[in-house]
Amino acid sequence: MEKYVSAKLHGIRVTDAKLNYHGSITIDADFCRAVGFKPLEYVDIWNKMSGARISTYVLYGEAGSRCCILNGAAARTCQQGDEIIIASSMFCEIDDIIDHKPRVLVFGPGNEIIDRITYEVFRRPDGALDMALKTETVENEYGFPASLTQQPPENSQ
């Protein structure tokens, strides 16, 4: 068993920070469902503005609200407007992550979804592991190597 990323929200902006709360992160339920975050699932949070890294659990916020609220002690690590990355992980075998195909949402300034990415791990014909990204956008603004934005071979896996 190894640890793999299972889902990610990339560049979502913090909409509020509530220090006097019992803890967690509240995220728009639509965003959670789109990538597969479950209620009370532990996630890692990386603040792109400060470099702070924390771990907490997910609460579903109002669907369609575009909310991303840090609660309790987590509120000390982020300010309203900070861009953060929220990632969940899973322990599994490589074949499980090949089947899982982790999903990523990428956000613009108003927490609108500007891209949907799928990470696809596959085996090359020689058995070596490789990966590709499926993205809804044509442009590669994320700094991914060009080799990752190509599609896996038809008979991979």
Query: Which residue of the set 21, 57, 89, 156 is catalytic?
Result: 57
SS3 32: helix
> Is 156 a known active-site residue?
no
- In angstroms, the Cα distances linking 6 to 102, 103, 116 are 5, 7, 14
Q: Is 73 annotated as a binding residue?
A: yes
Decide: 70 and 77 in contact? Cβ < 8 Å. yes
Structure tokens at 85: 């990355």
| Alpha carbon distances (Å) from 122 to 65, 79, 89, 92 | 36, 39, 18, 15
Helices assigned H by DSSP within the chain: 29-35, 94-100
CA distance 96 to 1: 10
**Any binding-site annotation on 17?**
no
72 is in an annotated binding site: yes
Annotated binding-site residue? 52: no
Active-site annotation holder among 4, 6, 21, 24: 24
Catalytic residue status for 57: yes
Residue type, 54: I
Task: Report the catalytic residues.
Answer: 24, 57
Q: From the annotation, which residues make up the binding site for substrate? A: 56, 72-74
Q: From the annotation, which residues make up the binding site? A: 56, 72-74
